[in-house]
Amino acid sequence: MRHGKKINHLGRKTAHRKSMLANMACSLIEHKRINTTVAKAKALKQFVEPMITKSKEDTTHNRRIVMARLRQKEAVAELFRDVAAKIADRPGGYTRIIKLGNRLGDNADMAMIELVDYNEIYNADKAKKKTTRRSRRGGSKPEATAPVETKASNEEE
């Protein structure tokens, strides 16, 4: 029985898998988006999102926990400095996985994983919605228009 065994081993031993995920997480924090296989992207999402949540509260304890898993001082500094400031009001879901198709060499399913708040294309639509909001007060009065005849009113005649 395989109760409670959800981890994807990715065809690697434990130490190799942890090192690979730590390196991929550091690359994601540094470059804000990376291309990888779908399976690795899903594993990376589970690996990096708890660390981004820890980075919201900048304490020595949280820095040590994240440092133990990432193992790169520059990545930890950037995570707590830049990334944490940008995702401070987001309650979760810090990464997005976009499927790209199959790789030419071995036909593996490829995906792009990115930090959500750093994509200007998706965030530009949200910014436009906020700026085009109109208030009901102070606007011009609606013009009086003639009532439009509908099929129901024509049938009654």
Asked if the model's pLDDT at residue 133 lies above 70, the reply is no
Query: Tokens at residue 134, please?
Result: 């109109």
The secondary structure element, H or E, covering residue 42 is helix 38-55
* Number of domains comprising the chain: 1
Q: Which range of residues forms the domain containing residue 37?
A: 14-121
CB 80 within 8 A of CB 53: no
β strands within 47-143, DSSP E: 95-102, 109-115
CB 114 within 8 A of CB 32: yes
What CATH number should be reported for the domain holding residue 84? 3.90.1030.10
Taking residues 14-25, report their average pLDDT: 98
Taking residues 74-94, report their average pLDDT: 95
Asked if the model's pLDDT at residue 150 lies above 60, the reply is no
Taking residues 136-148, report their average pLDDT: 62
Residue, of 23 and 139, whose pLDDT is higher: 23
In a domain, 43, yes or no: yes
Q: How far apart are CA 39 and CA 44, in angstroms?
A: 9
